[in-house]
Structures are given as structure tokens and as C-alpha cells.
Amino acid sequence: MNLAVLSPPGHKTGYSHPLGGRRAWSVWTVGALVYLVAFFHRTSLGVAALEAQQRFGVGATALSSFAILQLGVYLVMQIPAGIMADRFGPRRMLGAALLCMALGEVLFAFATSMPIAVLGRGLVGLGDAFTFINVIRLAASWFPRQRFALLTALTAMTGALGQVGGTVPLSECLRAYGWTPTFLGTAVLSAVLAVVAWWWIRDHPHPMMERSSTTAPILTDLRLTLAQRGTRTAVWSHFTLMSSFMVLATLWGFPYLVEGLGMAPGAARLTLTLTAAAPLVVAPTMGWVAGHRPALRGRLIVSVAVVLALVWIAAITWPGGRLPASLAVILVLVSAIGSAASMLAFDLARDANPPSRGGIASGMVNVGGFSAAMSASLTAGTLLDATGGSYDAPSFQVAFVPITVMIVIGTVRVALLLRPWRRGDAGDLNRERTSRAPAARRRAAAPRRASRSAPPRRRDGRVSARWSRPRC
């Protein structure tokens, strides 16, 4: 059994805030604002790509190393971020994350060479890695269980708003004030928000449970978390559903629609923009349904995964590779819906683990999705170069074979994990026992069966006459 040591906060008050009340919403709002700023930092390089090429005198290949490094640091730090969230609490980790991103932006603002710039972006990725896990951990502590899936979806939506809403202001600041003042301004914004987060955020609505640090060894927590079938199902669900839209939205969607399928650039941008808005509606809806009907989570995940696998199989097997425009829109739209459905994976992981391992479980889920997205993006680029770099429809069909295979394998794996293992189980993924009692203890605890030779007794306690007569 995993135990937790509860340490009181700095202020000693016995008042406990109600779950899901106004204070809960205000704490989550500050946490979601932290994630919005982190997402803004994550995507700011895309807005400043041309200025970065001129400032550092590098080409597109060297510039792409910034994004790869930042995503790589984010991916590698997910499980350590979950471990530290469980041991130190969201309040401390969100404040440290903001200060880390602020320091990275300061280095990036004054950098005139690649090594300092790479170090700055690495620090931004390091701070970014701690934000989402800690925000959804706040949601798990401050809200009733049935609202967790909805709060996870709303947190993801907030990050998307940070990407969309920060593009125009950052572009205007770069044009009006230049490189150094603009990125110094983003660093100051993060530092101010760190002070606000430390002042307002509390890890738990009850002050005597402000921080819960597990005393179990880290490897034991990792083993127990991964031993849960709900955790494994969540990892494979995120692996299957999240990667395809991330590949299309961040890197290969526009070249595929324009160069591969011959779509007009304006129509391609409109397609990607409108489909990117689909998760803003679908994710909260699925979160609300999953919160009130948890038994439907598995069906929702498998249904979306099957449709996603079918449209990607159609994309790589279509004769000639040039999908009709309607089918291309369906491909991007279903991928966006899959990205929204992937948020249900965190709800599965939450139910499968105790609160003391919630951060580790969320980190494992994030590793599943981002590792698939990163692998699919890199293999697609490698295969496009291997086919001659022509970016035509047959080349994209070859490039998208790995991600289609990953989606199919993930769909099969999720369906097997969600299969009812015994009669009456109905695919229940709630917390399972991770230790088995010895055989002797199980036998002692089991009810004793009556011996076949024991004589039946009547209601008054006397032996039945049939058994009382002597036998010949």
C-alpha cells in the first residue's frame, strides 16, 4: 500500500474550500493561464522564424533544431515532471516552470549566437514540460471526479487559445520594437505570473493537505502505475489519437494539402484553421459526457480510433494518392476530433491510480502521445527526402505509412485493453490491486465449503432422520 505524508502549508487555517466552488475555479483559472503562457512560449519561435534566421545567420535546417530540441526536452521531462508534481505539488512546480521559461526567454532575447539561443529554447522547453501535468493535477484536487474530464479538455483549449491569440501580438511587437525588447517582455510576463501563481494557487482545498509527498521509492511508484490496466489503456489511447493532428497542424498538413493534393493555399489554410477549431467544441462535449457517463469513455475512444484508422488507410491506399477535396477535409477533421478525444486518456489514468501517483500517470500518458507525434514527424520527413523530395501525392502516401501503422496498432491495442476480461467486468479500468495475497492467506480468507459427508440438519438443529438411521 502506498502511503502519503501530508505537510501543512505556510498559513495555518482550518477553513476548507468546497470542491468545485468559486475558489476552485479561480485556482484553476490561474493554472490555466500559466499553461496559456507556456503554450505561447512553445509556439513563439514559429512566429519569429524569419527574424531568427536573419539574427543568427542560419538556414531552415539549423532553425528546425530549435523546435526539435524544445519538443525533445518536453518529451524527456514528462515522467520526471510527474514525479516532482506528486512530491512537491503544483504550486511550487508551476512557479518554478514560469521562472525557468522566463530565464530561457532572457537568454534568447540577448543571444547573438546559436549556442546561447539553443540553451534558451531548451530552458523554455524544460519549463513548458511542467505546466500541463500540474494544471490537471489542480483540477483533480479542487473539483469533483465527474468534472475532471471536462477540466482537462478546457485546459487543453486554453493552450490552443494561447497559440492562436499570441500570434498577432508577438508579430506586431517584433515589427514595432525588435527582437530583444519583445522577448524580454515575454520573460517579464512569465516572472509576474510566477508571483501571481505562488500567491494564489494552493495544491488542495483543505489547508492540512496542501502538499502530499509520497514516501514510496520512485521505481516502485513507476512500476505500480504502469501495472494498472487503466494506465496502459490511457497511454495507448493518447498514442493513437493525438499524434496525427499534431503532425498535420504543426508541420506536414499545409505541404500535403497544397503540394500533394493540389489544393489552393488559401483553401488549405482555411481547412487547417476551421478543423483546428473543432476540438474547441468536441473536447468539452466529450469531457462532459465522460464525466457523467464514465462507462462510455471506452466506446468513445475505440469509435474515434477506428474511424481515424480507416481514413488514414484510405489516404495511403487511394489510387494515385490524390484524395478528393472532400475526403481530404474529412481526414484533417477526423484527426482533429481524435486530438480532442485523446484528452479522455487522462481521465482513464486518473481513475486507475491513487492521487499520490496522479502526476506520474499523466506524465506517462503525455509520453505516449508526444513520442508518437515526434516519431511520425521525423519519419515522414525522412521518407519524403528518400523519395526524392518532390512532395507529390505518391511521396506523401509513402511518408504517411508509418503514422498509419502506428494508428492501426494503437487501435488494436486499445480495443484489446478495453475488452471485458471476465463476466461482469465490462471493461472496468478503475484502480486494481497491485499485490496478491499468498495462497495460504487466500485459502484462509475463502469461505469454507461444507463437507460432502456432513449430514444435513433441519431448522431446529437436529440431524435429518434420513441420516440418523444406521447404514447397512
Average of per-residue pLDDT values in the chain? 82
pLDDT higher than 50, residue 429: yes
| Cell reading at 24 | 476552485
Ranking 66-75, 84-93, 371-380, 410-419 by mean pLDDT, the lowest is 66-75
Buried b (16+ CB within 10 A) or exposed e, 422-444: eeeeebbbebeeeeeeeeeeeee
Would you call 465 helix, strand, or coil by DSSP? helix
Residue 193, judged by CB atoms within 10 A of its CB (0-12, 13-18, 19+), counts as: buried
CA neighbor of 148 nearest in space, from 349, 334, 309: 349
Instruction: With cut-offs at 50, 70 and 90, classify the pLDDT of residue 52.
Output: confident
Say if 20-204 and 216-419 have the same CATH topology. Answer: yes
More confident residue, 239 or 431: 239
| Cell reading at 106 | 532572457
pLDDT higher than 60, residue 336: yes
What is the predicted pLDDT for the residue at 308?
A: 96
CA neighbor of 260 nearest in space, from 201, 181, 321, 212: 321
Instruction: With cut-offs at 50, 70 and 90, classify the pLDDT of residue 441.
Output: very low
Ranking 197-211, 252-266, 321-335 by mean pLDDT, the lowest is 197-211
DSSP state string for 6-17:
EE--SS-----P
What is the predicted pLDDT for the residue at 304?
A: 95
**DSSP assigned state of 5:** E
Q: How many CA atoms lie within 13 A of 65 on its CB side?
A: 12
* Opening angle at CA 27, ends 9 and 91, nearest 5: 45
Tell me what the mean pLDDT of segment 23-32 comes to.
93
Tell me what the mean pLDDT of segment 456-469 comes to.
50
Amino acid at 467: W
Is there a contact between 153 and 33 (Cβ–Cβ < 8 Å)?
A: no
What is the predicted pLDDT for the residue at 77?
A: 92
pLDDT higher than 50, residue 470: no
400-405: long-range contacts (C-beta < 8 A, 24 or more apart)?
400/312, 400/315, 400/316, 401/316, 402/375, 402/376, 403/243, 403/244, 403/247, 403/312, 403/372, 403/376, 403/379, 404/309, 404/312, 404/313, 404/315, 404/316
Q: What is the pLDDT of residues 89-109, one digit of tens each?
A: 899 999 999 999 999 999 999
CA dist 310 → 271, 283, 314, 386, 428 (Å)? 20, 21, 6, 26, 27
Q: What is the pLDDT of residues 178-210, one digit of tens each?
A: 889 999 999 999 999 999 999 999 888 876 655
Q: Rounded to whole angstroms, how far apart are CA atoms 137 and 31? A: 10
Ranking 19-28, 120-129, 161-170, 214-223 by mean pLDDT, the lowest is 161-170
| pTM reported for the whole predicted model | 0.78
Count of Cβ atoms closer than 10 Å to residue 12 Cβ: 8
Q: Percentage of the chain with pLDDT > 90?
A: 39
Tell me what the mean pLDDT of segment 9-24 comes to.
67
More confident residue, 293 or 13: 293
Instruction: With cut-offs at 50, 70 and 90, classify the pLDDT of residue 331.
Output: very high
pLDDT higher than 50, residue 293: yes
Ranking 2-16, 139-153, 208-222, 300-314 by mean pLDDT, the lowest is 2-16
* Opening angle at CA 28, ends 27 and 31, nearest 5: 90
Ranking 49-53, 201-205, 367-371 by mean pLDDT, the lowest is 49-53
Q: Classify domain 20-204 by CATH architecture.
A: Up-down Bundle (1.20)
Count of Cβ atoms closer than 10 Å to residue 23 Cβ: 15
What is the predicted pLDDT for the residue at 2?
A: 37
pLDDT higher than 80, residue 462: no
pLDDT higher than 80, residue 135: yes
| Rg, Å, the chain Cα set | 27
Tell me what the mean pLDDT of segment 300-322 comes to.
94
Instruction: With cut-offs at 50, 70 and 90, classify the pLDDT of residue 272.
Output: confident
Domain ranges within the chain, ordered by starting residue: 20-204, 216-419
Tell me what the mean pLDDT of segment 284-300 comes to.
90
CA neighbor of 233 nearest in space, from 425, 430, 14, 400: 430
Is there a contact between 35 and 135 (Cβ–Cβ < 8 Å)?
A: yes
Q: 216-419 has which CATH code?
A: 1.20.1250.20
